[in-house]
Amino acid sequence: MSLVDVQGMNLVPGITATISAAVGLFRTKLDAAGELCGGVFEIPKTGNISKIGIRAWNVSQSDTLKISLQTVDTATGRPTGTLIHADAYGTQASLSAGTAYWVSLQDDIAVTRGTKVAVVVEFNSYVAGDLEIVRSITNVGNTDFPYTFTFLGSVWALTNTIPNFGLEYDDGTIESISMMLPAAATSTISWDTNDNPDRRGLRFSVPYNCRMSGIFALLDLDADADIEIYDSDGVTIIPDSTISMDANLRGGTGGKYRYRNLVTPIELTKDTFYRIIIHPTTGTNIALYALDVTDDGASEAMNAIDGGINMHGTYCNGPPTVEANWTQEPTRRYLIGIILDQLDDGMPYNIVGGAVVVGQSTAGTVEGD
């Protein structure tokens, strides 16, 4: 294979670049019979769906919910009230505040990629429920499709916001759906060079050979810091890859994206993990933003986020001497990404030396401690 130039600013993972600040939550209060909320989207993969992911927020009074997959009325954009299959629903009782649930359907349901469906959350049989469901998330841009909806007090509303729901298939995979995230609110992590750990960032791989020309990250840079890029051994900082960030060189305070070029672009080889690390160099705090997901038992929920489980958090304290010094965070994605200026043209070739980065597979396992 050989690398060829690609024009423009090619950002990976793409979803990271759309998050403008700390992710917040749009919640819908359900406290009466007949009320509902949900999202409309396309099925991402042909297969059998076994679970639907939802998130509860404030719960004043729990009541059993019914979560279903329904057909969509093409004249109104609303769910029709008709299940896509007789067993395309599940129930969830005893909800707790701030908790995600992966609700099992009555049976695994066969679906086809590209089919338009609605996730609908409503009371199974209203008794005395008074709770909030996270319908969508904020600061990740707005979309015309997919979208969310509510039906409250006999009034329908369609909203161009990112649905906060997920689908799990019977093979255990939680599939990525474009601009639909089963995410928790963003975390903002503040630390300085004296804290433990003092190095945080993104452990990542991509499924193709490419060349990285720069880095972008959502930071609140109130003090100087370095970006360090570690090779696949987890110990070696790639030559010429350290980027020094001067806190005086910024357009404003608060969390903003920083885009920085590498002096020497780095060739990445597919299926090898690398790290992009933020290292404060003073005793004043900086802040790095992160997107969290709620796991379903096998670190699979991150696969619903662009880049998949092979892009996840990592940290250590002090300069690492062995790979095992790093701790992985499989349910956290620091808002860091890479800028590519060359991609593989598909022709055979031999790689000699150079750094290697491994694959952004949407199905993988997190290695290390």
One DSSP character per residue, 215-249 reads: EEEEEE-SS-EEEEEE-TTSSPBPTT--EEE-TTS
Q: How confident is the model at residue 98 (pLDDT cuts 50, 70, 90)?
A: confident
Overall fold of domain 3-19+187-344: Jelly Rolls (2.60.120)
Q: Determine the pLDDT at residue 367.
A: 38
Q: Determine the pLDDT at residue 178.
A: 80
Tokens of 29: 């209060």
Contact 158, 78 (CB under 8 A): yes
CATH of the domain spanning 25-169: 2.60.120
User: Number of H helices and number of E strands within the chain?
Assistant: 1, 26
Average pLDDT of span 239-257: 91
CATH 2.60.120 domain locations along the chain: 3-19+187-344, 25-169
pLDDT of 28 above 90: yes
Q: How confident is the model at residue 33 (pLDDT cuts 50, 70, 90)?
A: very high
Q: Determine the pLDDT at residue 150.
A: 97
C-alpha span between 316 and 54 (Å, rounded) = 33
